[in-house]
Structure formats: structure tokens, C-alpha cells
Amino acid sequence: MTPVRSIVPDAVAAAARSATRVVVLSGAGMSAESGVPTFRDAQTGLWERFAAEDLATMDAWRRDRAFVMAWYLWRFGLVAEVEPHAGHVAIARWARVLGGPRVSVVTQNVDDLHERAGSADVVHLHGALANWRCEDCGAPYEGGLPTVGEGTDRVEPPRCPECGAAVRPGVVWFGEPLPLVEWQQAVGLVEHADLVLVVGTSGIVHPAAGVPAIARGSGAVVVEVNPLETEVSHTADHVWRETAAVALPALVDSSREDAG
């Protein structure tokens, strides 16, 4: 089957051709095209009685670590079974184009699909599923993890080899601040960018939702790539109603063709 080829809007193509620093701000919609359920999608199986928001808090963790650990291991397994789509691959390819712009990724997603596609410059605003750490001392945990089978609803978390406390998922839970270093990196990137592509994000989770406004206030051209209207749409200079897997390969191919 021949891949779908989208027509790149002239203004977007022109911005991509002239850019020397590009930032891609990706959200849940980007991962959803690879088959990763968005955070607010209905749960399945034994988790269908629970809202994701009720499991992604420090209170839930303290109340029942084994239950929350099983849910995150289930999500960790889901991510491991999917592959980066054409949009992820296009971003990585764009960054490798000789003489092309510097292309960085700032993502709200906790999966590693950007890295698996080949992107090296990735900032995770909300942490990462793979970055398990101690709940007390914060030391990274690189040991083994239990396997979650069908019907598993309780898994005792491993213990930190440094202090003995429980190992928790390395994600940012509701009510927790964003990691300061990553937030400062993200702001610095968009403040110096020529072009910011806002891809697959709803624009309702703050403070990440404020990144497009920071970019535009710093002089970057902001382009939203999303098949649906979002809270970010009014901030964007240009809106491209297309999916990431279709739009991004077309944009990268267009910029390379126009470059000669």
C-alpha cells in the first residue's frame, strides 16, 4: 500500500525551509498513533473500573503501592509492544540531515518512542516509564522488574539498593512539580527556536500547555499539527489539521526537496 502523502501548507513549508532551530512539542496524540492508549482513554480488563487519574497520584501510591505498581508495569508492557510510527521516524531523520536545522524534541509523553525512532535530543517534561527511581532518596533503579501477566493486579515494588525504600515509576504524578532541569531545558529550547511544531497535544495540562505561548512570545513560528481543534489552536501561527504520521514525513521530505 502506498503511504498517504499530505500536501504541506505553503506557510508551514516556508517556515521549515528557513528554520535553523526546530522544536517538536509532542503530546499523547503522537503516541496514540503507534497504539499507546492516551492517558485518559478508558482502561481495559481488570483496570476498567479505575480512572487513570486515580492511580497517578502520590496518595494512591502510599495507599496501595502494590496495586499502583502493577498498573504501571502493565502500561510499561503496552509501550514495549508498539513501534514508532512514520512521524517519529521523520523527526529523527530531519535531525540527521546534513546542513539542516537542529531538531529537538520536548515531549509530554512518558514512553521512549522518540528515542527508539532515533531522536537523540529529547526532553521528557513528565518523566519516563523506563526511569524507575527510589521514592525516598531518588536514586535511579536499574535492576530487574517483575513481569505482569493477565489478571495481575498487585506487584510489590522492588527495593532501592541504596536505602531500602520502595522503587516507584519515574513519571510525574498529578500534584507533583515538573522536574526543574527538564523544564528549564524545554523553555531554553523554545526561546531560541525559529519553528515550534506542536504535535498531538490537547493543551490542557499545565505548565506544559504554556510552552507554545512562550515560543511565540520569543519570536518562533508556532505550527499546530493535530486533526482536532485544541486549547493550543488559538496560540498557533498556523494550524495544520493532519495526523503526525502523515504530516511530519511530508514536511521533512518537502524541506529536503526545497533545499536542493
Burial string for 80-118 (b: 16+ CB within 10 Å, else e) reads eeeebbbbbbbbbbbbeeeebbbbbbbbbbbbbbbbbbe
* 234 annotated active-site: no
**Spatial separation of the C-alpha atoms in residues 23 and 42, rounded to whole Å:** 31
Q: How many CA atoms lie within 13 A of 44 on its CB side?
A: 9
**Spatial separation of the C-alpha atoms in residues 174 and 196, rounded to whole Å:** 26
Name the region of 68 (left: φ>0; alpha: ψ -120 to 50; beta: rest). Answer: alpha
Residue whose C-alpha cell is 513519571: 171
Name the region of 127 (left: φ>0; alpha: ψ -120 to 50; beta: rest). Answer: left
Q: Are 1 and 213 in contact (CB under 8 A)?
A: no
Residue 164, Cβ neighbours under 10 Å: how many?
10
Q: Which residue among the candidates 126, 206, 234, 238 is catalytic per the annotation?
A: 126
Catalytic residues: 126
